[in-house]
Amino acid sequence: MTKIIGLTGGIGSGKTTIANYFQSFGIPVYIADDEAREIMQSAAIIEAIKKVFGNYIFENNVLNREKLAEIVFNDPEKLKELNKIVHPAVKRHFDQWVLQHTAAPYVIYEAAILFESGGYKNCDLIITITAPVEARIQRVMERDKTTRELVLKRMQAQWTDGQRISKSDFVIENTSIEVAKLEIVKILKILKIKQNES
Q: How far is CA 95 from the centre of its chain?
A: 16
The string of pLDDT tens digits covering residues 117-141 is 889 999 999 999 999 999 999 999 9
Sequence-distant (≥ 6) Cβ neighbours of residue 188 within 8 angstroms: 25
**Domain with 109 in it: what CATH number?**
3.40.50.300
- Tell me the C-alpha to C-alpha distance, in Å, between residue 23 and each of 57, 97, 102: 35, 15, 16
Q: End-to-end distance of the chain based on CA atoms, in angstroms? A: 10
Phi, psi for residue 132 in degrees, rounded to 5: -60, 135
Q: Is residue 165 part of a domain?
A: yes
Domain annotation covers residue 187: yes
Phi, psi of 73 (to 5 degrees): -85, 0
Asked whether residue 198 is domain-assigned, the answer is no
Confirm whether 197 is domain-assigned: no
> What pairing do the DSSP bridges indicate for beta strands 125-130 and 3-9?
parallel
Position 194 scores a pLDDT of 83
pLDDT at 61: 80
Residue numbers of the domain that contains 157? 3-192
Amino acid sitting at position 71? I
Q: How far is CA 53 from CA 20, 36, 39, 159, in A?
A: 34, 17, 17, 25
Specify if 105 maps to a domain.
yes
Query: For the segment 38-65, what is each residue's pLDDT rounded down to a tens digit?
Result: 999 899 999 999 999 999 899 888 899 8
Q: Is the overall model pTM greater than 0.85, yes or no?
A: yes
**For the chain, what is the domain count?**
1
pLDDT (tens digit per residue) in 57-111: 998 888 998 899 889 988 989 999 999 999 999 999 999 999 999 999 999 999 9
